[in-house]
Amino acid sequence: MASNNDEKQSGSSGGGGFFSSIASSLSNLGSVMSKSVNGMLGYEGLEVVNPEGGNEDAGAEAQRGRWKAEDRDNYWKMMQKYIGADVTSLVTLPVIICEPMTNLQKMAELMEYAHLLDLADECEDPHMRLVYSASWFISVYNALQRTWKPFNPILGETYELVNHAGITFIAEQVSHHPPMGAAHAENEHFIYDITSKVKTKFLGNSVEVYPLGRSRLTLKKSGVVLDLVPPPTKVHNLIFGRTWIDSPGEMILTNLTTGDKVLLYFQPCGWFGAGRYEVDGYVYNSEEEPKILMTGKWNESLSYQPCDLEGEPLPGSTMKEVWRAADAPKNDKFQYTYFAHKINSFDTAPKKLLASDSRLRPDRYALEKGDLSKASSEKSRLEERQRADRRTREAKGDEFKPKWFNLSNEVCPTPWGDLEVYEYNGKYHEHRAAIDSSDHAEEADVKTTEFNPWQYEDSVASA
């Protein structure tokens, strides 16, 4: 994680300029407040962070949150043994903290503001292309601030998205240990590919999440290829207090074709919420000279303005807004946007939906309908069926192979470890073309279509 000074040094020479006073004032506020909750037997060292108040509020904040007191206490005792560990695959979490969406669907939320990529593709200015593209990548953080946990996808599970901005989107869970998903999205303006994997560090009442994924964006008109390195994320108050998310650090978007790049710094949340959500930085040319400054809040809006070599706004130029978060439903139970609701609906599903699609998961659907008991039992049943499928595969000496993605020979280095890259194999487009040309394609119905990502139809979960 870079400091404000690191951010200025990593850009062009003299990169302080317009944002130096902002960065300085925020850094003087210090990092986010925290306090051990003392006087509670068995909770020594517990960190509770209230982003809206001082450290004297930690004790009261610890009693808040969505957990029942007895569940919270029991979970704290159970989870203490995992402190310092990567809990990505170690812990099964209860439905009470879940949202009715899977990680594959969460990947599709990036498509909400895809019009920004249409603008990037049509733009002749290479630096404005980066403004539009970087804003698109920033826009998904508005959805990621939700504190509910999405369901972990079953191995072989998929998610399809159509009927939005001319996009064809397919995602698939390609690995279970470690959990990995791959996705491909495309319309007439862009191609987007991602291999998604995370590494975590559990800290007791918080968890640090490091994105090991690889994201590649190709703009079709210019042919440029963009590569993203996002900042890490920290989830605060997992068990005690109200859960909230922060992503302090650098986001780097590099034009692999020209060497131009965007470097944006996500400010850490300071005392009484100072700096929370704020992001600022520059578009640089291949000579690492600042060309355009960008600033805003990742949960609200982003703006840009041309700048000189010192990072100062050009005389006579004005700040222009490039992205603004769409209005969201009021008092939504899961803080969903209108687009998030569309992702769960069949309005964004193609004809003859794959039976492995996330929408068809009975645990997800039960939670969406408010039946926590059924959601919990269905989640357990699916997880046991997944274990049975694995046992059958091992007994047969078979190796799981994804349908829509192939494991490539490429190993991609990231700041947090190496990543095996999955490539889209093109078969989904062939599959969809055959379905769309058929006169017998039927609409999928959650009430009649059984969720089926299984490799072996005859694998039966043990009692």
List, for residues 325-352, the tens digit of each pLDDT value.
Answer: 999 999 999 999 999 999 999 999 998 9
pLDDT recorded at residue 54: 65
Residue 379's SS3 state is helix
pLDDT recorded at residue 283: 98
Straight-line distance from the first to the last Cα atom of the chain, in angstroms, rounded to the nearest whole number = 47
pLDDT recorded at residue 50: 87
pLDDT classification of 45: cutoffs 50, 70, 90 = low
Residue 402's SS3 state is coil
pLDDT recorded at residue 162: 96
Residue 415's SS3 state is coil
Determine which of 62-66, 126-130, 265-269, 312-316 has the lowest per-residue pLDDT on average.
62-66
pLDDT recorded at residue 461: 43
Q: In this structure, how many other beta carbons lie within 10 angstroms of the beta carbon of residue 154?
A: 23
Name the one residue in this structure whose structure tokens are 């046992």: 391
Determine which of 28-37, 72-81, 231-240 has the lowest per-residue pLDDT on average.
28-37
CA distance 89 to 236: 19
Tokens at 2, concatenated: 């870079």
- Helix (H) or strand (E) holding 377, with range, is helix 372-396
Tokens at 25, concatenated: 């004032």
pLDDT recorded at residue 442: 60
pLDDT recorded at residue 60: 82
pLDDT classification of 37: cutoffs 50, 70, 90 = low
pLDDT digits (tens, 9 = 90+) for 366-396: 999 999 999 999 999 999 999 999 999 999 9
pLDDT digits (tens, 9 = 90+) for 63-121: 888 888 888 888 888 888 888 998 887 777 789 889 999 999 999 999 999 999 999 99
Read off the DSSP letter of residue 129: H
> Is 38 within 8 Å of 206 (Cβ atoms)?
no
Determine which of 290-299, 321-330, 393-402, 454-463 has the lowest per-residue pLDDT on average.
454-463
Q: In this structure, how many other beta carbons lie within 10 angstroms of the beta carbon of residue 301?
A: 17
Q: Has this prediction a pTM greater than 0.85?
A: yes
Q: Which residues contact 70 (CB under 8 A, 6 or more apart)?
A: none
Structural domains in the chain?
Answer: 35-344 (2.40.160.120)
Q: What rounded mean pLDDT belongs to the chain?
A: 87
Read off the pLDDT of each residue in 44-51 and give the average, rounded to a whole number.
Answer: 80
Name the one residue in this structure whose structure tokens are 């993605």: 405
pLDDT recorded at residue 433: 93
pLDDT recorded at residue 13: 37
Q: Which residue has the higher pLDDT, 440 or 318?
A: 318
Q: What Å distances lie between residue 162 and 114, 165, 195, 328, CA to CA?
A: 13, 8, 20, 21
Q: Which of 177, 178, 186, 181 is nearest to 157 (CA)?
A: 181
Read off the pLDDT of each residue in 27-56 and give the average, rounded to a whole number.
Answer: 60
CA distance 112 to 143: 10
Q: What type of residue is 224?
A: V
Read off the pLDDT of each residue in 11-18 and give the average, rounded to a whole number.
Answer: 38
Tokens at 258, concatenated: 């020209």
pLDDT of 453 strictly over 90 = yes
pLDDT digits (tens, 9 = 90+) for 131-143: 999 999 999 999 8
CA distance 184 to 168: 8
pLDDT digits (tens, 9 = 90+) for 391-450: 999 999 999 999 999 999 999 999 999 999 999 999 999 999 998 887 765 655 556 789
pLDDT recorded at residue 21: 37
pLDDT above 70 covers what percent of the chain?
A: 86
pLDDT recorded at residue 28: 34
